[in-house]
Amino acid sequence: MAELYNKKALIVGASGGMGSAIASMLTKNGVHCALVGRDKQKLEDIFSVCSSSGNPCFTFSCDISESSEIRKCCEEAIDNLGNLNYLIHCAGNYNKASADECDLEVWDHILDANLRSTYHFARHLLPQINKTPGGAVIRINSRDAPHTGIGIQTAQKRAIDGYMEVLFEDVREYGTKVCTINPGFVN
């Protein structure tokens, strides 16, 4: 994957299963990575794996439900790596709250961590990504089949898909690619 060599990526959710696998694969292929997650120990574990490739990588512990932490994380990533080519967002919170019984505080927290974090990371990084040929924003979301008892989950997943569709149209003039990947459940 020579086309990835010396590219720069910020990976949100790098301390999780899918995010750590993506981070490991990218660094092995020459990508310099900013690894973002909330679990400091898991971030250190994936940092050890990624840094063994010899490519620069940095970790940032961040609560993605807090917009001020996202802004700080993005600024530090740009300070450490320079202009970024890729934003890969595969983090979020899951809650089994039903549509008719969900507490407003839970609703807001899930929206902050999942939908609003997608917006905030894109907002802060797109000025950099739009300047780089072949830049991309990738959101790992999930299948959102409407099952009983997960109304809040279905609503916010569909909102993420809608936001990413509009974002695709908004940045296509720069050549920036935008996509959402919706896998089923993973371990």
> What tens digit of pLDDT does each residue of 68-106 get?
999 999 999 999 999 999 999 999 877 777 778 888 888
pLDDT attached to residue 183: 85
Residue 119 domain-assigned (yes or no): yes
On whether residue 169 sits in a domain, the answer given is yes
Q: Do 59 and 47 meet the contact criterion of CB atoms below 8 Å apart?
A: yes
Q: Is 29 helix (H, G, I), strand (E, B) or coil?
A: coil
Radius of gyration of the chain (CA): 16
- Tell me the residue range of the domain where 112 lies: 2-181
Nearest residue to 97 via CA among 150, 163, 148:
150
Confidence band of 179 (pLDDT split at 50, 70, 90): very high
What are the CA-CA distances from residue 7 to residues 19, 104, 160 (Å)?
Answer: 17, 41, 26
Q: Do 181 and 19 meet the contact criterion of CB atoms below 8 Å apart?
A: no
| Residue 62 within any structural domain of the chain | yes
Look up the pTM and report it. 0.92
% of the chain surpassing 90 pLDDT? 72
Q: How many CB atoms lie within 10 A of CB 45?
A: 13
Residue 61 falls in which region: left (phi positive, over 0), alpha (psi -120 to 50) or beta? beta
- In this structure, is residue 12 part of a structural domain? yes
Residue 105 falls inside a structural domain: yes
d(CA 157, CA 132): 28
187 within domain boundaries: no
**CATH number reported for the structural domain that contains residue 79 in this entry:** 3.40.50.720
Mean pLDDT of 115-137: 96
Cα–Cα distance list, 16 to 53, 87, 106, 128, 147 (Å): 19, 16, 22, 25, 25
Domain tally for the chain?
A: 1
Q: Which of 48-57, 60-69, 142-151 has the lowest mean pLDDT?
A: 142-151
- Cβ-contact 27, 4 below 8 angstroms: no
DSSP class of 132: S
Of 186 and 60, more confident: 60
Position 46 scores a pLDDT of 96
- pLDDT score, position 151: 76
Is the per-residue pLDDT at 144 higher than 90?
A: no
| 65 assigned to some structural domain | yes
pLDDT value of position 146: 61
pLDDT digits (tens, 9 = 90+) for 8-58: 999 999 998 899 999 999 999 999 999 999 999 999 999 999 999 899 999
Say if CB 142 and CB 183 are below 8 A apart.
Answer: yes
Per-chain mean pLDDT for the chain: 91
**Residue in the structure block whose two tokens are 């809608």:** 162
Q: Are strands 57-61 and 86-89 parallel, antiparallel or unpaired?
A: unpaired
Residue 145: predicted pLDDT: 59
At 120, the pLDDT band (50, 70, 90 cuts) reads: very high
Q: What DSSP element (H or E) covers 20? A: helix 17-28
How many CB atoms neighbour CB 107 within 10 A? 17
